[in-house]
Amino acid sequence: MRMHLVFGQLKRKDMIYHFQNHCYKYFTEFCDYLFNCKVTIPDDLQIITCCNWEDQSILINQLRRNKIPYINKVPFGIEWDNRIKIKYILEALQNVSSRYVLILDANDVLIEDVSNIITDFDNLGYNLLYNATCHNYPDVDIDHVPGRERMGKFKYFNAGCCIGKTEYTKHFYENALKYIDVENPWKSEQYIIRHVFQDCVGEVMFDYQCKLFQTVGGCSLMKLNNIWRVI
């Protein structure tokens, strides 16, 4: 029986894990387990990622291992800047033929399974759902979410993982492209995406309950009686 981690408890359900800032290096035993999981995806879902060095991507290596196709429009070896992800995600979206799309960071995301992710996503009632984090980055006042103070530890938006209805997601990233040249000293695509999210709260949300996505950065992993927990 597979088990995944959520804050302070254990649930019997599969998950996508985002190890921000490459913190997977500190959780090698758990990441080895994830990398060796058998992963399947629903028929009506395609995966987009952005990577200039595919062989160094833990996500792409996992997808290849499971013979799961993905779309990556980033040219090999180009100089990296997180802001260019918006352009290449939008380009990739033009090649998505499925009704749903899953967009994942290449260098710090691993999948336990996504076989039920469409049903889980539809049950939440949004057009686009991002992962949530305990860090507000960049730490500036952009998005205003009603009830955020009651959302627990993972109450901030993170752009590293999302699932959405394809046509809506195209529209969302077209709007994000309009912010590409705003003053952005962090060179952060998340700073840009949060501006669009602010205008779409209600249709777009972040997974503060960690039902589909679990960020690990800023947290600890504990293994007790052979059970892993995020704390």
Mean pLDDT, contiguous 10-residue spans, the chain (231 residues)? 43 76 81 91 97 97 97 97 97 98 97 93 97 95 96 96 98 96 95 97 96 88 71 68
**Can you say whether the dihedral through the CA atoms of 151, 154, 156, 157 is positive or negative?**
negative
Tokens of 163: 């699932």
DSSP secondary structure letter of residue 75 = P
Decide if domain 4-230 falls under CATH 3.90.550: yes
Tokens of 36: 């060796």
Find tokens 């927990």 and name the residue: 229
pLDDT confidence of residue 171: 98
Angle between helices 84-93 and 189-200 (to 10 degrees): 60
Find tokens 């802001």 and name the residue: 83
| Cβ partners under 8 Å of residue 92, min gap 6 | 48, 50, 71, 72, 73
- Look at residue 173 and give its three-state secondary structure: helix
pLDDT, tens only, 33-74: 899 989 999 999 999 999 999 999 999 999 999 999 999 999
Predicted structure pTM score: 0.92
Find tokens 């009830």 and name the residue: 147
For residue 118, which of 211, 180, 5 has the smallest C-alpha distance?
A: 211
pLDDT confidence of residue 230: 72
C-alpha to C-alpha distances, 136 to 34, 181, 205, 213, nearest whole angstrom: 26, 21, 15, 17
DSSP-derived pairing of the beta strands 100-104 and 156-165: antiparallel
